[in-house]
Chain A
Amino acid sequence: MSDQFTRMKLGPSRRRFLQTVARAGGAAMLPASFGMGEAFAQGANDTLVIAAPATPQGLDIEFDVSLGSIDSLGALYEYMLGYEKIPDPNAPDAQREDTSVHADKPNNMALRGRLAEAWEVSPDGRKATFKLREGVVSNWGNPFTSKDVKWTWDRKFNAKGQGLFQTAVLGLTSPDQIKIEGDHAISFNLDKPSPILLKQQCNLANPIYDGTKCAAVGASDDPWAINFLKNDSAGFGPYRLSQLVRGQQAVFEARSDYWDTKPAMKRVIMREVPQSASRFSLLQGGAVDIAQFLQPREMEALKSEKNVAVDAVNASYMIWLELNAKIAPFDNIDVRRAVNLAIPRDEIIRTIYYGYADPQTAPMPYIYPMVDKSFFSYQYDLAKAKALLDKAGVGKGLSTTLSYNAGDPTQEPIALLIQTSLRQIGVELTLEKLPAGVFYENVTKRAKPMIFYLDSPWTPDPGYSLYLYFNSKSYVNYSNYNNPAVDKLITDGLATLDNSVRMPTYAEVQKTLMDEAPWGFIAYPKYTLARKANLKGFTYYSSNNLRFQDFTRS
């Protein structure tokens, strides 16, 4: 009876309250839903709307190489040189950079001038002189001169960011090696010839800044405009930054004073949509033109959509396991070999990547010149793996930890497949899921015995790629691999322009690396793009980024 009284006392008012809340909530949802639709609805045909995992956190390549940032670079900045484009053999609507060796072309490369109109490399390969294009202005209206190139490369020495690697890999030790030869001429003077000097002028990591603007905004307390370039741009690219609201969107407007062909897409909206399922839905519903970095399963599902096209091209991405040579048991070469024999690559590519990857069979991207896949000998063989573990004296009850990135949805299932496979040969893996920030901290600290890594070397050159990951002094040598003979071969190959010398040198390096297995070689994920079917012009770049100026609408 008391409960009935209680219901009488509270029920009607509680019911009334709940009804009121429901009505208010529904009313509040309506404008929000219209607002959302409006936010995502496309305007004119010359507006490109991209659903991206993240907006640029910083616009300065010196300190930020995150996904949103690298897509912005190609729009805001221009480079000294670029590669010629060729049709992609796997995607009929797509093009790609031609990074192959061409013995019949100048410098054996298919290059085209961008900010550099012409160039000449001295016979000894130690000096490259660039004649710069006249009549180019920055997004701040400042004319492009050799001072801008000089300022850009001086900054690499002084800003203490990734630019130090860019100078080191060229053998540059002083800013004095970059000399102004005239208002529109500049030279790079090296102690030793470098086969990647011209390639580095195409590298996304080496944009040319408007030195005049940067010097003006930097003043004495920020002479290298670090604070300015984090949030704005000063470059010669086809777009200018119109709006940046981190966590929400970035808007780019095409420049009417751009020196080259004006982009067809006058306006680009990069909207942050962290979940790939949401990006998938937006593209499926026609609310965006491009949905970046969808999961392989989602790409597969989009193939059947009428108004959507899916491009998948061979790329410079590699995913591998860093087997830390300074932490047991991976200080033992036979254990590393055993792990490689027990990685179920075909299963991973079928189950996790849905075929949008190829097995990794070399220690460098398979699309780069001089890659040699003939040394791969780790076809799946558990018996051989077990025998190697026995030989290493760890045949019974070996256990270790495999760490992976919680922010990468492919890594956990790959880890599970590897764990199941290794369990069959008596290796018990404890899987350690790390939040993204903690994950990268552990990678750079080289703190874990076994950890995933997904990366791509941006310059399509064997010396660049192998130096980056396997030179014992390289910051990115996260597996602590140390072989002085390999160091010498890599360095020798970076000091000659003669491809007839480079090729066998790097073949020897690759043979040694495959034999000594500093990595657990897994796969070459393809670069995939899900876009509206009427959006054309996709071009694949070895830096794995989009350039908005490529796109047109059919």
Chain B
Amino acid sequence: MLAKLRLFARLALVRPRFAAGYVIVVVVTILAILAPVIAPFSPTEADSLSFLQPPSSAHVFGTDNVGMDIFSRAIYAPRIDLTIAILGTGLSALLGGSLGALVGYYSSGQGIRVWLSFALMRAADVLQAFPIFVFAIALVASLGQSIQTVVLAIAFVNAPIYLRLMRSQVLSIRSMRYVEASQVNGLSDFQTIIRHVIPNAMGPVLAQLSINVGWGIVLTAALSFIGAGVRAPTPEWGSMIAMGFQNVVTGQWWPSMFPGTMLAVTVFGFSLIGASIEVLADPAKRRLLLTDVRLRDIARAAKTAKRASLGQG
């Protein structure tokens, strides 16, 4: 573990932007976990005597138009946003990735499997063409406004992405020799897919996961902004921005600025993590990165040796 951490630290020095991503996400996660301890006020109790107070020592981020403390709500919000985004994205990866593996494995040949693959791809086209907000509002109208509805909306909208990604990976992998070998060894299609195809196709999927988690947070916020997300007064960045943005024109910028900034920074962090996974998951890019690390180590060692020799001299 320690060796891996040292390697990670060296990687971070070579690619500081990767490290920044992990730091951001870790900090946000810690805030979410420790929010009940850190938050000075309840995130859901209105206090009309303190409405629209600017940032001060009493209320670090100020208060909103019903007197709720913005700092407390902003650090509670990741509990909702991260949960929804991770659950929704995970569900979409599971659903889309599984279907994509099947579609990719059976997309050639004959029989009903081919037709089913074709039908699934067309269904994915239809789903992906559907405007997300219209789809989410329709879900809210039928299922009611809740965290579960938002998770489902994110899962359904993102599933086609993983379906296509996994399918394209499997299309190239299924003709590999090791897949043939597993079939020759008597493994069933299902066993081959699970043991050999999916693990080797996961690289781009993992990279996409991180980016989609960031996108899921934005989507959650956007759905809350239009009233199709979580219920008030659940602390959530999008609903906080929605409640606060109309105050900007009259000079009360803080109700939407602070949650907006935290939202942007968190999504940025996930994007950076996604970029790092893309590099680490690709063997060729990983080799190049490690080469850079070694070159850096060599340069440091040479510098140290030079200083030592000059000192002795």
A interface list, Cβ under 8 A from B: 1-3, 275-277, 280-281, 295, 297-298, 300-301, 344, 347-348, 350-352, 406, 409, 412-413, 415-417, 419-420, 423, 430-435, 438
Contacts and interface: CB of A to CB of B under 8 A. Distances in A.
Given A277-B248, A433-B227, A415 B232 contact: yes
B231 A433 contact: yes
A277 to B, nearest CB: 4
B51 A431 contact: no
Nearest to A424: B45
Contact of B292 (A3, A350, A351, A413): A3
Contact of B251 (A1, A301, A431): A301
Contacts of B182: none
Contacts of A420: 45-47, 66
B48 interface: yes
* Contact residues of B: prevailing secondary structure: loop
B250 A298 contact: yes
B225 to A, nearest CB: 10
B291 A1 contact: yes
Interface string B213-250: 00000000000001110011100000000010111111
Nearest to B46: A420
A280 to B, nearest CB: 5
Nearest to A297: B250
Nearest to B229: A433
Contacts of A432: 144-145, 231
B54 to A, nearest CB: 14
B168 interface: no
A416 B247 CA distance: 17
B246 A352 contact: no
A435 B137 contact: yes
12 contacts: A280-B250, A344-B48, A351-B65, A352-B65, A412-B232, A420-B66, A431-B231, A431-B232, A432-B145, A435-B137, A435-B227, A438-B141
Given A3-B288, A351-B66, A416 B46 contact: yes
Contact of A416 (B52, B137, B232, B248): B232
B249 A417 contact: no
B249 A277 contact: yes
Nearest to B248: A277
Contacts of B251: 301
Contacts of A434: 145, 227
Interface in B6-53: 45-48, 51-52
A2 B292 CA distance: 9
A298 B66 contact: no
B204 interface: no
Given A297-B247, A351-B65, 19 more contacts: A3-B288, A276-B246, A277-B249, A280-B249, A297-B250, A298-B250, A344-B48, A348-B48, A351-B51, A413-B243, A415-B232, A416-B233, A417-B48, A417-B66, A419-B233, A420-B66, A430-B231, A433-B232, A434-B227
Contacts of A277: 245-246, 248-249
B67 interface: yes
A281 B227 contact: no
B136 to A, nearest CB: 11
Q: Interface SS of chain A: helix, strand, loop or mixed? A: helix
B227 A406 contact: yes
A25 to B, nearest CB: 21
A423 B144 CA distance: 23
Interface residues of B, number: 33
Contacts of A2: 288
A3 B248 CA distance: 43
B48 A433 contact: no
Q: Which of B66, B145, B291 has most A Cβ within 10 Å?
A: B66
Chain A to chain B: the 5 pairs with minimum beta-carbon distance, closest first:
A406-B227, A277-B249, A347-B48, A301-B250, A420-B46
A412 B227 CA distance: 10
A281 B249 CA distance: 7
A2 B285 CA distance: 9
A431 B233 contact: yes
Contacts of A406: 226-227
A281 B250 CA distance: 9
A417 B65 CA distance: 10
Nearest to B15: A3
Contacts of B246: 275-277, 295, 409
Contacts of B66: 351-352, 413, 416-417, 420
A162 B249 CA distance: 39
A351 B63 CA distance: 12
B15 to A, nearest CB: 9
A3 B282 CA distance: 14
Contacts of A281: 249
Nearest to A438: B141
Nearest to A403: B145
A200 to B, nearest CB: 38
Nearest to A433: B227
Interface in B260-312: 288, 291-292
Contacts of B248: 277
Contacts of B51: 351
A350 B247 contact: no
A168 B240 CA distance: 46
A507 to B, nearest CB: 34
Nearest to B252: A297
Contacts of A438: 141
B276 to A, nearest CB: 13
Contacts of A352: 65-66
A351 B47 CA distance: 10
Contacts of B233: 416, 419, 431
B234 to A, nearest CB: 9
B300 to A, nearest CB: 17
Contacts of B46: 413, 416-417, 419-420
Contacts of B250: 280, 297-298, 300-301
Contacts of A344: 48
Contacts of A351: 48, 51, 65-67
Contacts of B45: 420, 423
A415 to B, nearest CB: 7
Contacts of B232: 412, 415-416, 431, 433
A430 B145 CA distance: 11
A298 B67 CA distance: 18
Nearest to A420: B46
B246 to A, nearest CB: 5
Contacts of A295: 246
Interface in B184-238: 226-228, 231-233
Specify which of A275, A412, A423, A438 lies most central, judged by the most chain B CB atoms within 10 Å of its CB. A412
B229 to A, nearest CB: 9
A432 B228 CA distance: 10
Given A433-B232, A438-B141, A350 B249 contact: no
B231 A413 contact: no
Most chain A beta-carbon contacts within 10 A, residue among B52, B137, B232: B232
